[in-house]
Structure 1
Amino acid sequence: MSVYEEHRSRLVPGAVLWRAAGAGGAAVLPDGCMDLLWADGRLLVAGPDTGPHRAGEVAGSAFAGLRLAPGTAPALLGVPARELRDRRVDLADLWPGPEVRRLAERIASYGDPCAALEQLALARAALSGPPDPLAAEVAARLGAGEPVAAVAAAVGLGERQLHRRSLDAFGYGPRTLGRVLRLQRALALARRGLPQAEVAHRAGYADQAHYTREVRALAGTTPGAYAAASAANSETPQPSGSRTTA
């Protein structure tokens, strides 16, 4: 049986710590986040997703993760998010191998891999500096449902400039990020048991058909199937790095 739990990080702003036992068959859905993962002694990074990923694609039976808010991981990792889009990558492919081996040994001896990942992120942030504040504003505005043109104007960029900055910060352009964050708004409403038509309206879709098309495109399922799966199993494993599964 799969077990999953998560809680907000008290030390890394906007981050979530999670742990899971058992890979299960759940699909990890896009949420705009990136994760630093500990999987049976390996350190990996889960990049930003554009569609569903099977949770079991990362081999292992015990997982811990630090889910980093949209736009915050690239400064920490030293890699543009677009290079990690839809990928699960060994940290040793991004950082020097000897350094990653030392970190893995330290985490293995720590006792609590979640707390160790949190400390790793803090230490790295002290060296790399803070994430781009523009990314946080862009994510917040898109998450609130603002149109891309309005977001670009609010942050003082042309739409092409915003697109380029978004690729590096989020892994995809602002329109895709807006769709992903709107999906997350909708799925949160669906988990509350709201009717599909109300979910579509409150999440910002043109109509229920638009909502259904977007859930199919981004989550690989239907709103009805997602609602049924959520009702049947509210504690699903997420070893690949997203808070929402189906």
Structure 2
Amino acid sequence: MYRERPSGIAHAVVWSSTVARAEEHRVLPDGCMDLLWSGGRLVVAGPDTAAKVASWRPGLPFVGLRLGSGVGPRVLGVPAHELRDQRVPLDAVWRGADVRRLAERLAQAADPGTVLEEVAQHRLADGPPADPIAARVAERLGQGAEVGAVAREVGLSARQLHRRSLDAFGYGPKTLARILRLNHALELGRTGTPAADAAYAAGYADQAHLSREVRSLTGVTLTTLVA
């Protein structure tokens, strides 16, 4: 069973999942980074450029803190592009002693998700300030704005926006826009919106364009994902 709730951290979600039988789960790209706790291990999931298939064991709980809109690099202390398309142990990013102490807390916690939140909040408070443009870039690209228009709105050249996007999201603004547009279309599809209408509302040229993008980014059809 999968559950999620909004975090007290802006642009973050706390989630948990446990499956009753072994299954494969398709993890879609979403422009986020995740801090994961499962099986006594802490892992960082970097921003994905395409869907990945994860194998879940029955009865093994997963707890995660999903960090969007450029928050992940501030919590983890590394630019997002350094972890793009990777799953790495947290002790490859943080000091081993800090990770061991956190793992001990999580093993004893009734609500591991709250512990992950608290640790992330402390790191945000002690770390560098937020990039003032990251959330705005994600918001506007998610609304379907053109990359050039977003660059002008935030006062950056195309090259500057690309560099800042790599650090904040793990990839350039064009890739981020594709991923956010895909997720928008899927949200519409899952609420019962017909594919042609979802394509139009999400900013695709037509339904065929949406279908090609879904296949390119996820490896399956829109019907499969919506189902």
TM-score, scaled to structure 2: 0.95
What is the root-mean-square deviation of aligned Cα atoms in Å?
Answer: 1.6
Partner residue of 1:98? 97
Q: Distance in 2 between matches of 1:58 and 1:135?
A: 36
Partner residue of 2:114? 115
AA in 2 matched with 1:26: H
| TM-superposition CA deviations, 1:3-51 (whole Å, max 9, x none) | 1111111x21121111111362120101111111111111111111111
Partner residue of 1:7? 5
Percent identity, aligned pairs only, is 57
Matches within 5 A, 1:35-50: 35-50=34-49
> Which runs of no fewer than 5 residues in structure 2 stay unpaired?
none
How many residues are aligned here? 225
Partner residue of 1:208? 207
| TM-superposition CA deviations, 1:62-117 (whole Å, max 9, x none) | 11001111211111111000011111111000011111101111121222111111
Q: Distance in 2 between matches of 1:82 and 1:117?
A: 22
Secondary structure of the corresponding residue to residue 26 of structure 1: strand
Q: Following TM superposition, by how much is the alpha carbon of 1:60 offset from its aligned partner in structure 2, in angstroms?
A: 8.5
Partner residue of 1:16? 13
Closer, same or farther: CA 142–114 of 1 in aligned 2, 3 Å: same
Q: Distance in 2 between matches of 1:29 and 1:86?
A: 11
Using CA pairs under 8 Å that are at least 6 residues apart, name the structure with larger relative contact order, 1 or 2. 1
Q: Distance in 2 between matches of 1:173 and 1:57?
A: 31
Secondary structure of the corresponding residue to residue 183 of structure 1: helix
AA in 2 matched with 1:5: R
Q: Following TM superposition, by how much is the alpha carbon of 1:59 offset from its aligned partner in structure 2, in angstroms?
A: 11
Deviates more, 1:128-137 or 1:44-53: 128-137
AA in 2 matched with 1:21: T
Deviates more, 1:54-63 or 1:143-152: 54-63
Q: Following TM superposition, by how much is the alpha carbon of 1:126 offset from its aligned partner in structure 2, in angstroms?
A: 1.7
Q: Distance in 1 between matches of 2:222 and 2:88?
A: 30
| TM-superposition CA deviations, 1:94-143 (whole Å, max 9, x none) | 01111110111112122211111111111111211432121111111101
Deviation above 6 Å: which 4+ runs of structure 1?
57-60
TM-score, scaled to structure 1: 0.88
